[in-house]
Amino acid sequence: MSPRKLTQLIIGVVLVMLFAVGCGAPAATPESPTPMPVPPTPTPVPPIPTQTPEPTGISISGVITNMEDVEVQYLAEDSYLQLVRLPDDGQLSFSTDDQGRLAYDSQLAQIQIPQDGAFTFQVENLESGAYLIAAQRLLASSLMMPLLVQDDLPVTFEIPQNVNLPLGIDLGEVTIPLPNP
């Protein structure tokens, strides 16, 4: 039996016992009708606090600051953010769909592009190496580098060998590069 249920049971038994010995109830006399028992008022039991699980794995977060511009012209319903491992030679392979929308080749975690720009990837583990985040399947084929950037350079982050978990990586404010008007 849970501690909460046991506490409720004990409180209920105590209240019933107090009521049974006549606390506060007038004695019945032959001339007066039998008094109706007043049910005990349950005492609220504070909820048992639940423990927040410790974070596990790797958390990668940031905020895309130009979401209004991206959302208006370039965001499709099936656009998404995806982790992409940067190859040792630095050359990313990609494909395009039948609409000419670019997507870098990756089998890693992907999430919807949030309307407010705040994103978080939660992964159990990643191999050591350099990574980027791509904005996959945006509407403009002229976006030749749909990678999250800071100061016009792709944002990369490194996962070290023998990483101690949990690991939190905050990329801060980033943008999706847009073509010049």
Domains in the chain with CATH codes? 1-50 (no CATH), 58-174 (2.60.40)
**Phi-psi map region of 51: left, alpha, beta (phi>0 left; psi -120 to 50 alpha):** beta
Residues of the chain scoring pLDDT < 50: 25
* pLDDT given for residue 83 in this prediction: 98
* pLDDT given for residue 15 in this prediction: 54
- A 10 A CB-CB count for 91 gives 7
Q: What share of the chain is helix, strand, coil (3-state, %, to 5)?
A: 15, 30, 55
pTM strictly above 0.75: no
147 touches 157 (CB < 8 A): no
Tokens of 13: 């038994």
* pLDDT given for residue 139 in this prediction: 86
- A 10 A CB-CB count for 8 gives 15
* pLDDT given for residue 67 in this prediction: 94
* pLDDT given for residue 57 in this prediction: 92
Burial class (CB in 10 A: 0-12, 13-18, 19+), 100: exposed
* pLDDT given for residue 30 in this prediction: 55
* pLDDT given for residue 143 in this prediction: 57
* pLDDT given for residue 9 in this prediction: 55
